Amino acid sequence: MILSRIAKKLTRSNGIQSLMEDLGSAWSGSTENIAFLGGGNPAKIPEAEKIYRSAVESIITSGGTLESLLGDYTSPIGSDETRELTAAYLGKFFGTTLQGNQIAFFNGSQNAYSFLLNSFSGTMEDGSFKKILLPVVPEYIGYADQTWEENVFYANLPIVEKTTPHRFRYKLDKTNIPWETIGCVALSRPTNPTGNVMENEDVDWLYTESRKNNIPLLIDLAYGNPFPNLIGEKEPTRWKPGMILSLSFSKVGLPGVRLGIIIADPEIISVLSSFAAVGNLAVGNWGQALAKVFWKEDSLPQISKNILRPYYANKLQTALEIIEEIFAKNKVQYSIHEPEGGFFLWIHFPNLPISNKELYQICKKENVYIVSGHYFFPGLTAQFSHTQECIRLTYCRDRKEIVRGAEIIARIVSRTAN
């Protein structure tokens, strides 16, 4: 069988595929002897699930809605009515007023990114070749394999700032960015995998530079404001012309609904609408129907504040205590990225004698699933030891899984170091 280059590129082992496969195999089994610390599944939180169930029930029981939900195609990026309602509802969270033609719905924000990243990178209509600037790597694994052309990411080395003996933080290096070769800037805030929430002054600087260069600034708010709002004490992200923001229903606990929302200037929404018509025909109806209920009841910011934030803060605290105690007992050399937001811990093992890829394989044999950090540096060509020495763990799992995972990781890391 002869495949196209793009098919070949996609079928090469890629990070997101291996992660989703691990997620699938662990999901179907018992977690008795498994520590599944790999995936980005949100936690199952009964209090939130109850509210989602009642929203679904209200849709099902309202006359005629179910038949239309199941039986009608909507427009490629959502119905005009839902887009208008969404603009009116979301504007206040982003310090602006929005119109319906600034909103587009997709089957998950991942689906939107596959269109967005390809709209602003690769061979452009004037024949130039443009890249996607990832201002601070590590950055979200799911962007890396989305582009149809090769070598479209650009990343500088991040500045590594030691904050306490076992904590550090990556920061934006503003020097030497080849702006003339950049077609758009993309970052997740909070960042998956590190938990970094970029300072607003750095976001403002990127915005100013993007405007000067007439390119969009994409900010992925999958874990950000206004829901699930896992941004610690940091300032929320605001929308300004030229920015593209993406929101998702997944991390509030509804990944199965597959709803992503894009906020952008009308001309960008219109490009996305063409992509969506060709690639998707239409966006699914369930997410839009739930959005209408949630906006009417103003429920997601409340759920975020009263249920999700306290729940995840507690999980994070527990995971940090367990990991630090077990690592100290095993004399593991480690440093954790300041966990400012999101679901993950990004752990650096300085001078790790095996690669993080090998660490992943050894852990997997012991039923401990982690994500190797090497996937998260697309576009970085400079040498950087962190690409080989870091792993990502989710802290959203049960205590016993975290204990088991931390013990096995500590044993492997300290064994290989001696």
Ligand X SMILES: Cc1ncc(COP(=O)(O)O)c(C=O)c1O
- Residues of the shown chain interacting with ligand X in the complex, contacts defined by CB under 6 A: 40, 108-110, 140, 142, 188, 192, 220, 222, 248, 250, 255, 260
Closest residue to ligand X: CB criterion: 108
Which C-beta is closer to ligand X: that of 42 or that of 76? 42
Minimum distance of ligand X from residue 292's CB (angstroms): 18
Minimum distance of ligand X from residue 184's CB (angstroms): 15
Which C-beta is closer to ligand X: that of 49 or that of 321? 49
Which C-beta is closer to ligand X: that of 108 or that of 195? 108
Minimum distance of ligand X from residue 265's CB (angstroms): 21
For helices 109-119 and 266-280, angle between their N-to-C axes, nearest 10 degrees: 110
Q: Work out whether strand 371-372 and strand 390-394 pair parallel, antiparallel, or are unpaired.
A: antiparallel
Minimum distance of ligand X from residue 109's CB (angstroms): 4
Minimum distance of ligand X from residue 365's CB (angstroms): 25
CA–CA distance, 216 with 178 (Å, rounded to integer): 15
Q: Where is 210: in which H helix or E strand?
A: helix 200-212
Which C-beta is closer to ligand X: that of 76 or that of 260? 260
Residue 18 Cα distances to 10, 153, 372, 377, angstroms: 12, 21, 11, 16
Minimum distance of ligand X from residue 57's CB (angstroms): 23
Query: Residue type for 90, please?
Result: L
* Residue whose pair of structure tokens reads 């179910």 in the numeric block: 66
| Helices and strands: H and E segment counts in the chain | 14, 16
The answer to whether the CB of 232 falls within 8 A of the CB of 82 is no
Which C-beta is closer to ligand X: that of 223 or that of 349? 223
Which C-beta is closer to ligand X: that of 138 or that of 405? 138
Listed in order, strand segments (DSSP E) in 116-257 are 122-123, 129-133, 153-154, 159-164, 167-171, 182-188, 217-220, 243-248
Q: What HEC string does 43-98 produce?
A: CCCHHHHHHHHHHHHHHHHCCCHHHHHHHCCCCCCCCHHHHHHHHHHHHHHHCCCC
- Tokens linked to 172: 């934006």
Minimum distance of ligand X from residue 293's CB (angstroms): 19
Minimum distance of ligand X from residue 35's CB (angstroms): 19
Which C-beta is closer to ligand X: that of 142 or that of 195? 142
Which C-beta is closer to ligand X: that of 392 or that of 404? 392
The answer to whether the CB of 122 falls within 8 A of the CB of 147 is yes
CA–CA distance, 105 with 108 (Å, rounded to integer): 8
